[in-house]
Structure 1
Amino acid sequence: MDVLGIDACAKQGWVGIRLTDGVYATSLVDGSLGTLIDRAGAVVTIAVDMPLGLVDQGWRAADRAARALLGPRRSSVFPIAPRPVWQEPDYPAAASRCQVLTGSGLSRQAWALAPKLSEARACWLADERIHEVHPEMSFYAMAGRAPLAYAKKTWRGQHLRRALLAGAGVVLPDELGEADRIPADDVLDAGAAAWSAHRIALGIAERVPEVPEPDAEGRLVEIRY
């Protein structure tokens, strides 16, 4: 059983980790998410670290639930603005629309997600194998439902995350091939996404919130882990 976990990279596009029966198989890097998924071949489940389901007003319950569980890592989960915000042409218009629909503004950091969010959402709407995940929720589960004490860009944080993956059966080799030049935190996040993809395929993954909201296109707004 092959699954794929994917994380967005700032410069390289997307990095994927493919597992076979829960064990590392290969890495993939591509500027296009759709192309990366095609190159992965016949995978049964795909987990992407990117907001996919959107509500039409207010903030997503999935993000509030994840932040409540993650404690010191809650800042890694951005509150995701409603669907109409992402349809605006620029940041000032998006921030204004967000204020109307949520009562709060929109950070430039969140708006920077717009191109990849739109790309990932289009893939999600076209492919039922794709699920939204968040690596910190995956690591939270690996650590026995405990938020990690160290951030993912720190020395301790990266070693802790690699050890948690290895303990869960996802041993990332020193030489990854395509992903050798990808930042370590992105590779670790893709590995965590792949671990969650395997759990989704087995039918044992958890979700937040417990009762997901509906997306305007009919799918569920949820984070799997």
Structure 2
Amino acid sequence: MDVLGIDACGKQGWAGIRLADGAYAGSLVGVRLDALIERAAGVAAIAVDMPLGLVEQGWRAADLQARALLRVRRSSVFLMAPRPAWLEPDYPAASERCRALTGCRLSRQAWSLAPKLLEARACWLADDRIHEVHPEVSFRALAGGVPLDYPKRTWRGQNLRRRLLAAAGLVLPDELGEADRVPVDDVLDAAAAAWSAHRIALGVAGRIPEVPEADAEGRVIEIRY
């Protein structure tokens, strides 16, 4: 059973880690998410580190609960603005729409996700194999429900994450192929997403919140791990 975990990686676009029966089976990198997914034909589940389901007003319960669970790593979870804010043409308009719908303005850091968020949502709406994940939520689960003490861009943080993946059977080789030039933290995030995708395919993945919200068209809004 093959699955794919995907993380956004700046100008390089998207980085994917493929697993076969839970073990590392290769990497994929592509500028367009839909093209990368097409190259991974036949995978049973796809986990993407990007918000996918959006509410119409207020904050997503998935983000609020994930921040509470991650404690020291809570800042890694952005509060995602309601869907109408992402349809605005620029940051000032989106920030003002977010304020009207949540009481708070949208951060510039969150707005920088807009192109990839909309790209990922389009893929999600077209492919029911795709699920939203958050790497720090996955690493917390890999660590037995304990948030990690060290950030993913630190030496100790990266080594800890690689050890946790290896202990779960996902050993990342020194040579990854396409992902060799992808930043280390993006590779680790894609691998954590792949670990979650494998659990989704097996039917044993957790979800935040336990009872998902639904969007305006009845699709679930949740983070899987």
Name the TM-score class by shorter chain.
Answer: over 0.9
Residue 210 of structure 1 aligns to a residue whose secondary structure is strand
- What secondary structure does 2:140 align onto? helix
Following superposition, the deviation at residue 211 of structure 1 comes to 1.1
User: What amino acid does structure 1 have at the position aligned with 2:6?
Assistant: I
Give secondary structure in 1 for the equivalent of 2:47: strand
Partner SS for 2:99 = helix
RMSD in angstroms over aligned alpha carbons? 0.5
Aligned residue for 1:116, secondary structure, equals helix
Pairwise CA distance, 1:219: 1.1
Structure 2 partner of 1:99: 99
- Deviation string 1:150-202 (CA, Å, 9 cap, x unpaired) is 00000000000000000011100000000000000000000000000000000
Counterpart residue number, 1:75: 75
Q: How does 1:84-95 map to 2 (within 5 A)?
A: 84-95=84-95
Q: Aligned pairs, how many?
A: 225
Q: TM-score, normalised by structure 2?
A: 0.99
Structure 1 unaligned segments of length 5 or more: list them. none
Q: Which residue of 2 aligns with 1:209?
A: 209
Letter in 2 for 1:129: R
C-alpha separation between the residues in 1 aligned to 2:104 and 2:45? 35
How far off its partner does 1:210 sit? 1.1
Give the CA deviation at 1:216: 2.0
Secondary structure of 1:158's aligned partner: helix
Please give the alpha-carbon distance, in whole angstroms, between the structure 1 residues aligned to 2:60 and 2:90. 22
Equivalent-residue separation in structure 1 for 2:82 and 2:217 (angstroms):
13
* SS of 2:149 mapped into structure 1: coil
Q: CA deviation at 1:218?
A: 2.2
Report the alpha carbon displacement of residue 31 of structure 1 after superposing the two structures with TM.
0.1
Provide the residue aligned with 2:128 in structure 1. Answer: 128
Task: Name 2:159's counterpart in structure 1.
Answer: 159
Please give the alpha-carbon distance, in whole angstroms, between the structure 2 residues aligned to 1:198 and 1:64.
Answer: 25
Q: Please give the alpha-carbon distance, in whole angstroms, between the structure 2 residues aligned to 1:38 and 1:218.
A: 26
Identity, in percent, stands at 76
- The whole-number CA distance in structure 2 between the counterparts of 1:114 and 1:54 is 13
Task: Structure 2 unaligned segments of length 5 or more: list them.
Answer: none
Structure 2 partner of 1:108: 108
1:169 has 2:169 as partner: yes
- 2:32 matched residue in structure 1: 32
Question: 1:3-14 maps to which residues of 2 (within 5 A)?
Answer: 3-14=3-14
Match of 1:139 in 2: 139
CA distance in 1: counterparts of 2:211 and 2:204, whole angstroms: 16
SS at match of 2:69: helix
